[in-house]
Copies of this chain bind each other. A is one copy, B any other.
Amino acid sequence: MPAAELPHITADILARLRVRAPRVHCITNSVAQAFTANILLAAGAIPSMTLSADEIGTFVGRADALLVNLGTFDEERREATAAALGVVSERRLPWVLDPVFIDRSEPRAEHAKSLVALTPDAIRLNHAEFMALSDSDPEDAALKRYALDTLAVVALTGTVDRITDGACFISIENGHPLMGRVTAMGCAASALAAAFLAIESDAFAATAAALLCLGVAGGIAGDRASGPGSFPAALLDALYALDKHTLEEKARVA
């Protein structure tokens, strides 16, 4: 996929998402739950978040994609993940791994590695998390190699988002510095990627499209907001209103 095609591909996936309203089950940290739910709803998806071992199988069995986010990881989330991934594997559902803060905790990094071995469709992380996961600096070549090794789309977000499946590679320069001053923004990006993967079987396109949506919405929100307090609401409003014209006009991809 040439980078220039990403905006209209994104508009197409987003349009289908709004019609189909995919269900995304989220195993995510307690800090991010409400904002993640609202990101999914604003985009047109239907979130669910239950973690209970005796119910999560049923929820995932009726969902269209799964998010596994390692923030505030604990025994309950560990068991929930195992049960959920069993269903994901049976039903061949797409899923996204978000290895939050694995640079802060060795056991969590080890757990993340064991989850990578279960072949998520996409892994979204930041600079420090990539280093903890892959033991290498996030050069473009290292990202590609890691994607090839893991069979996952790797999406490293930051000032510039870089997405690769090992073959294709795309950079997105949208977004806004305030995205780093609000909690759960990365978690929401991963959830959005899961929603897009529910709609689009090309995992590279789906992941890049989700990040482009969030980046463009973030840029618009940055222009409108008065600070990190008003920023999340402005971002949700912009994501809800996002259209093809805006995506094509604002996208800064290479």
What residues make up the interface of A, taking CB atoms closer than 8 Å to B?
Answer: 29-35, 37-38, 41-42, 47-52, 54-55, 58-59, 62, 71-76, 101, 104-108, 180-184, 225-230, 232-241
**In the complex, are the beta carbons of B226 and A237 less than 8 A apart?**
yes
Partner of A183, one of B29, B38, B74, B184: B38
**In the complex, are the beta carbons of A183 and B236 less than 8 A apart?**
no
Q: How far is the CA of A58 from the CA of B52 in the complex (A)?
A: 26
Closest chain-B Cβ to A162's Cβ sits at a distance in Å of 23
Q: Which 4 A-B pairs have the closest CB atoms?
A: A229-B236, A227-B237, A229-B233, A37-B183
**In the complex, are the beta carbons of B105 and A58 less than 8 A apart?**
yes
Q: How far is the CA of A225 from the CA of B42 in the complex (A)?
A: 13
* Complex copy number for this chain: 3
Closest chain-B Cβ to A64's Cβ sits at a distance in Å of 13
Query: Given A240-B181, A240-B228, are A30 and B49 also a contact pair (CB < 8 Å)?
Result: yes
Q: How far is the CA of A233 from the CA of B228 in the complex (A)?
A: 8
Residues of chain B within 8 A (CB-CB) of A54 are 107
Residues of chain B within 8 A (CB-CB) of A75 are 52
**In the complex, are the beta carbons of A50 and B73 less than 8 A apart?**
yes
Q: How far is the CA of A73 from the CA of B55 in the complex (A)?
A: 9
Query: Given A51-B72, A58-B104, are A240 and B235 also a contact pair (CB < 8 Å)?
Result: no
Residues of chain B within 8 A (CB-CB) of A58 are 104-107
**In the complex, are the beta carbons of B71 and A50 less than 8 A apart?**
yes
